[in-house]
Amino acid sequence: MVFEVLSRTFGRTDRIDKLRGYRDVPSILRYVILESASIGIVVHERANGSEAWRTTALTEDDTLRIPEVGIEIPVCKFYADVDFSTPDGQAAG
């Protein structure tokens, strides 16, 4: 499993180049990309290393389910202290 926070400047690298690279690693069955400019998560998953990725987009009302480790996390929890009005997304104050 790989988690990435989408870079504002290198988003193409995260969304395309890294996805292609991870596709070639059979042991990576789940690639989770957290958006950095707004609330959202993209999940690429497959049952085994020879399958194509299945992609799911999650919004703040959804829950990220990771059955491999038996956890479920509401998407909004990942962004609880993020202030999107600041350039770096850090909470003001």
**pLDDT for the residue numbered 88:** 58
Listed as ranges, residues in the chain with pLDDT below 50 are none
Residue 30 half-sphere exposure, CB side, CA atoms within 13 Å? 13
Q: Which pLDDT score, from 0 to 100, does residue 10 have?
A: 72
Residue 87's pLDDT is what? 62
**Model confidence pLDDT, tens digit, residues 49-64:** 899 999 999 999 999 9
Torsional sign, CA 48, 50, 51, 54: positive
Burial of 24 by CB count in 10 Å (0-12 exposed, 13-18 middle, 19+ buried)? exposed
CA distance 51 to 88: 36
pLDDT at 7: 78
CA angle 20, 25, 27 (to 5 degrees): 135
How crowded is the C-beta side of 78, counted as CA atoms within 13 Å? 25
